[in-house]
Each structure stands twice: as C-alpha cells, then as structure tokens.
Amino acid sequence: MTQKEFLDSVAARNPSQPEFLQAVQEVVESVWDVYQANPRFQKANILSRIVEPEALHTFRVSWVNDRGDVEVNSGYRIQFNSALGPYKGGLRFHPSVNMSILKFLGFEQIFKNSLTTLPMGGGKGGSDFNAKGRSDNEIMRFCQAFMTELFRYIGPDTDVPAGDIGVGGREIGYMFGQYKKITREFSGVLTGKGLEWGGSLVRPEATGFGATYFAEAMLKTKGQSFAGKTVAMSGFGNVAWGAVIKVNQLGGRVVTLSGPDGYVYDPEGITGAKVDYMLDMRASNNDRVEDYATKFGVKFVPGKRPWEVKCDVAMPCATQNELDENDARTLVKNGCICVTEGANMPTTLEATHVLLDAKVLFAPGKASNAGGVATSGLEMSQNSMRLRWSAEEVDQRLHQIMLRIHDACVEYGKGPDGFVNYVKGANVAGFLRVANAMLDQGVV
Ligand code: NDP
Ligand code: 2IT
C-alpha cells in the first residue's frame, strides 16, 4: 500500500473529520519510511490499528441553568491507545468541540505521552458546553452532570483525565467532588487537582514552563537564548500564562496575547500585575482580551492574530489552526527564528511546510507542550506514593523531561545538513515506543 492509499483509506473510514485527518497525515508523513523498513510493524498492521481509537464513549449531559431551564450538551471520552499505560489526556469544554477535534487531540496525545517516557496511554474528552457568561453555580452543575456520566469510564488505573481549553482548576475541583461522591473513593482519578487535595505543585504552570524550556533548548542549538528576544504569543489562558512567566524569567519580552476577539500589542512587555490579570481574564468567562488593552492602555487589534507583529520567537498557545500559511510567511519575512507550539496543532500543515522550508526552528505541540501531561504524570506518581514533592523537585523533573524530549527530536529529526526537523523527530520517537509496546502485547 502506498502512503496515499493508506491516507485515503483513513479518510474513507472517518468522513467529515478534517482535524483528525490532518493530525494523522502529519504523523504518517513522518513515520512512513520507518514503518516500511520494519516488516514486524507491517505484519502486525500497527499503523491501521494506531489510527483507530480503542473505545469511543459519547453521552448526554442534561443540567439545569440558573433560570431553571433544562439544557443539554454532548459529552465525550475517547480512549485512543493504552499500549504504554492508562489512557491519559485532558477534557475540553468549548462550543467548537466535536468528534473530529477530540479524535485529533486524542491521537496527538498518544505520541506526546510516549515522548515523556512516563507510563501513560493516550485519551481525550470534553463537551460542547459554552462557559461564556455562565455563573459559577452553572459551571458547577454542568461539571457535576458531566461527571455523573463520565465516572463509569475512568479510574486511576484505567483513564485519568485532566484540563484543557475551558477546564482548569475550578472545573477539575467540581468534577473531582462529584466523582468522589459517586464512587466513595478519594483517588488520583484526575490531574490538575488543587494543591491541598492531591494536586502537584507546578502543574498549573507546567505546560507553559515546559514549552519555554523546549524553546530555550532549540535556541541553544543556534548558540542563542531568550535573553533580549521579543516573543509574539497567542491565547491568554493557562498555557499562555505559564509561558509568559517563564519567558520573563529567562529574559525575553512577550508583547502580544490574543483571544477570539483579536490581539493586544503591549510593546513594554507583559510583566508583573499584567501577568496576574491574565488569570482574572480566564476566570471571567468573558472570552475576550480587549479588557487587557482597556485596563493597561495598550493597543487592541480586533479580529486579527498576533503573527503580523515583528518578533524573534512565536509561541501559539490558543487553539488549533490559528497560524496559517500567510501567517508563516509573514513571520519568516519579519525575521522570526523559532516557532514553538504551546497549543495543540495551532500551525496548519501548509504553514508547517513554509516554516520547515525556511529552516525556522519549529516545534510541534506534541513535543513542546508535553510538559503539561508530563507533570500530570508526576502528579499521578505522587498520588500513588501518597507523597508530595517540593516545587523545585517537580520543576527540575519537568525541565529534565523537556530536555530529553528535545534530545529525542534531535536524534530522529536531524538531517544531513544539520537542520533538525522537530516534526519528524517527535513523530518517529513517539511512534516507536508505542509501536514496540503494541508488538509486545499481541493483537488486542
Ligand atoms: P484555556 O481555556 O486556559 O485558554 C485557551 C485560550 O485560547 C483562551 O485564551 C481562549 O479563549 C483562547 N481561544 C480559544 N479558542 C480560540 C480561538 N478560536 N481563537 C483565539 N483564541 C481562542 O486553555 P489552555 O491554555 O489550557 O489551552 C490552550 C491550548 O493549549 C489548547 O490547544 C490546548 O489543547 C493546549 N494544551 C493545554 C494543556 C494544559 O495542560 N492545559 C497541555 C497541552 C496543551 P476562550 O476560551 O475565551 O475562547
Ligand atoms: O493537551 C494536553 O496535553 C493536555 N491538555 C494535558 C493533558 C493531561 O492529562 O495533563
């Protein structure tokens, strides 16, 4: 079978799932040669098995809003691959959520979790719930209704969900409370828990810290660092917040943030109270960054993305497909040397090719944003031991894991000219561990 025939067959089996097919295509393009060179993988039909989720759960979530009206949402949990450990991956609450988006995220999660080298399989879930304008009580009731269905499918040794877009510490708390009430068990069934009840220090910051450590390692391959660098960032949520903190610590200056309404340009840099204000914006359920511009008297550019701003490093930290081919060309033209994904698949396939052709340092999210799930893995370890590590210990382990992922990408992605294709490196390194584990475990 040719690569095209294989991709066509996946497309035929998964109609109307463009994001999922995009994620599959990127991985298949990278691993095809390695796969063809290994008859054992082919005999076990690993590639066809790896693109098929082990289980898909969908359920109705009915709940009552503050006006007393009954509302209905769709709930999902995708258990994609358990070759390396219990299913592990976040829950996304956003009106755009559908099967295609969750399957792309669950698929990416398999390889990301593999890259961490921690014992975690891949999964993802969520709901099309829209938190915009909801009261705290409504969010609690929704989370409880969601968990009343989800609890049947998860468990600390089966499937361990965490946060993603629209799911942070508050939502994890409400879901954990409901799980505990239903099952009468206090366990490590979710990660991203509060620090006083089983959470890990540094988990809130981990994705952004990890992405910044990864970017620093990439810059180092060119003898450079964040010191004095201008950074364009998108999003204003959990990942962007952690990345802003770490870029500041490493001497860089973040000059943009974005939301669905547009982007803010703050040439002085996002520091001090402005960083704390990001948490207020995320908690306001307001869906906009314009508030930041109003509060701090900086420029707001409605309806646009931040990639038109001149920068040395770009860190897309909002959502999928938010950096397209034109944006990539603009970044290259403006002298950007490094693009590190904090979000999952924020760069389109076409934009990825533009950046790689221009020899820009480009890190795919499955490598550079793996710090979040890696620290979730460390939270699971602490829960199992019933111990808590210090912030320094967690941060040090996180840093080491990110450097190891960077090394794995270099090992499998370095070309004859010395240029590192991190996309290829991450996909091949992530794939090999999963494929070998699947071989060992037989046809299941
Ligand atoms: P948050 O909910 O904390 O923040 C998401 C941010 O993206 C918000 O600023 C959100 O605004 C914005 N956003 C959502 N949709 C759009 C859009 N269409 N255009 C512009 N901005 C948008 O989520 P996270 O920070 O946790 O997640 C951000 C990205 O990082 C996602 O791709 C997620 O999958 C990925 N990620 C998250 C990890 C984690 O541990 N949290 C780990 C690894 C990756 P609003 O919500 O108001 O629409
Ligand atoms: O995309 C991701 O890696 C996450 N949302 C974090 C998953 C996790 O289980 O911590």
The third-level CATH classification (topology) of the domain covering 206-368 is Rossmann fold (3.40.50)
Q: Is 53-190's fold the same as 206-368's?
A: yes
Element (H, E) at 288: none
Establish whether residue 366 lines the binding site of ligand 2, counting it when its CB lies within 6 angstroms of any ligand atom.
no
User: DSSP H helical segments within 136-202, as ranges?
Assistant: 136-150, 169-183
Q: How many other CB atoms are there within 10 angstroms of residue 16's CB atom?
A: 9
DSSP result, 35-53: HHT-HHHHHTTHHHHHTS-
| Residue 170 in tokens | 């508050």
User: pTM to 2 decimals?
Assistant: 0.96
Q: Which ligand is nearest to the CA of 115?
A: 2
What atom in ligand 2 is closest to the CA of residue 89? 9
Torsion sign, CA atoms 172, 173, 174, 179: positive
Whether 124 is a known active-site residue: answer yes
Place of tokens 């468990």: 155
Contact 370, 162 (CB under 8 A): no
CA distance 296 to 291: 9
Residue nearest to atom 27 of ligand 1 (CA): 165
Establish whether residue 164 lines the binding site of ligand 2, counting it when its CB lies within 6 angstroms of any ligand atom.
yes
The tens place of each residue's pLDDT in the chain, 444 residues long, gives 999 999 999 999 999 999 999 999 999 999 999 999 999 999 999 999 999 999 999 999 999 999 999 999 999 999 999 999 999 999 999 999 999 999 999 999 999 999 999 999 999 999 999 999 999 999 999 999 999 999 999 999 999 999 999 999 999 999 999 999 999 999 999 999 999 999 999 999 999 999 999 999 999 999 999 999 999 999 999 999 999 999 999 999 999 999 999 999 999 999 999 999 999 998 887 779 999 999 999 999 999 999 999 999 999 999 999 999 999 999 999 999 999 999 999 999 999 999 999 999 999 999 999 999 999 999 999 999 999 999 999 999 999 999 999 999 999 999 999 999 999 999 999 999 999 999 999 999
Residue nearest to atom 9 of ligand 2 (CA): 89
CA 341 from centre of chain: 9
CA distance 121 to 114: 8
Q: Whose CA is closest to 297, among 317, 283, 277, 280?
A: 277
Q: Which ligand is nearest to the CA of 90?
A: 2
Contact 358, 332 (CB under 8 A): yes
Element (H, E) at 346: none
Mutate to test the pocket of ligand 2, among 91, 172, 207, 209 (most ligand atoms within 8 A of CB): 207
Establish whether residue 281 lines the binding site of ligand 1, counting it when its CB lies within 6 angstroms of any ligand atom.
no
φ, ψ of residue 310 in degrees (nearest 5)? -65, 130
CA distance 444 to 438: 8
Establish whether residue 397 lines the binding site of ligand 1, counting it when its CB lies within 6 angstroms of any ligand atom.
no
The predicted pLDDT at position 405 comes to 98
Residue count (the chain): 444
Integer Rg of the chain from CA: 21
- Three-state secondary-structure class, residue 122: strand
Mutate to test the pocket of ligand 1, among 78, 116, 139, 164 (most ligand atoms within 8 A of CB): 164
DSSP result, 361-379: EEE-HHHHTHHHHHHHHHH
Establish whether residue 374 lines the binding site of ligand 2, counting it when its CB lies within 6 angstroms of any ligand atom.
no
Instruction: Report the separation in Å between the CA atom of 438 and the middle of ligand 1, taken as the mean of its atom positions.
Output: 32
Strands 256-259 vs 262-265: parallel, antiparallel or unpaired: antiparallel
What atom in ligand 2 is closest to the CA of residue 373? 10
DSSP result, 140-152: HHHHHHHHHHHGG
Q: Which of 88, 103, 112, 124 is catalytic?
A: 124
CA distance 344 to 126: 15
Strands 121-127 vs 70-81: parallel, antiparallel or unpaired: antiparallel
Which residues are bridge partners to 364 per DSSP?
none
The predicted pLDDT at position 285 comes to 78
C-alpha triplet 22, 103, 15: angle, nearest 5°: 65
The predicted pLDDT at position 283 comes to 84
Instruction: Report the separation in Å between the CA atom of 142 and the middle of ligand 2, taken as the mean of its atom positions.
Output: 21
For the structural domain made of 1-51+424-444, what CATH number should be given?
1.10.285.10
What atom in ligand 2 is closest to the CA of residue 161? 9
- Three-state secondary-structure class, residue 78: strand
Establish whether residue 102 lines the binding site of ligand 1, counting it when its CB lies within 6 angstroms of any ligand atom.
no
Instruction: Report the separation in Å between the CA atom of 89 and the middle of ligand 2, taken as the mean of its atom positions.
Output: 5
Cβ-in-10-Å burial (0-12, 13-18, 19+) of 103 comes to: buried
Establish whether residue 239 lines the binding site of ligand 1, counting it when its CB lies within 6 angstroms of any ligand atom.
yes
Q: Tally the C-alpha atoms within 13 A of residue 235's C-alpha that lie toward its C-beta.
A: 28
What atom in ligand 1 is closest to the CA of residue 305? 20
Residue nearest to atom 2 of ligand 1 (CA): 165
What atom in ligand 1 is closest to the CA of residue 320? 32
The predicted pLDDT at position 279 comes to 93
CA 376 from centre of chain: 12
- Three-state secondary-structure class, residue 191: coil
CA distance 342 to 368: 7
Mutate to test the pocket of ligand 1, among 96, 132, 165, 279 (most ligand atoms within 8 A of CB): 165
CA distance 128 to 39: 42
CA distance 306 to 235: 10
Q: Structural domain boundaries of the chain?
A: 1-51+424-444, 53-190, 206-368
The predicted pLDDT at position 284 comes to 84
Place of tokens 């829209």: 130
Instruction: Report the separation in Å between the CA atom of 444 and the middle of ligand 1, taken as the mean of its atom positions.
Output: 34
CA distance 430 to 405: 9
Establish whether residue 312 lines the binding site of ligand 1, counting it when its CB lies within 6 angstroms of any ligand atom.
no
Establish whether residue 378 lines the binding site of ligand 1, counting it when its CB lies within 6 angstroms of any ligand atom.
no
Establish whether residue 373 lines the binding site of ligand 2, counting it when its CB lies within 6 angstroms of any ligand atom.
yes
Domain 53-190, second-level architecture: 3-Layer(aba) Sandwich (3.40)
Q: Whose CA is closest to 293, among 327, 317, 258?
A: 258
Establish whether residue 235 lines the binding site of ligand 1, counting it when its CB lies within 6 angstroms of any ligand atom.
yes
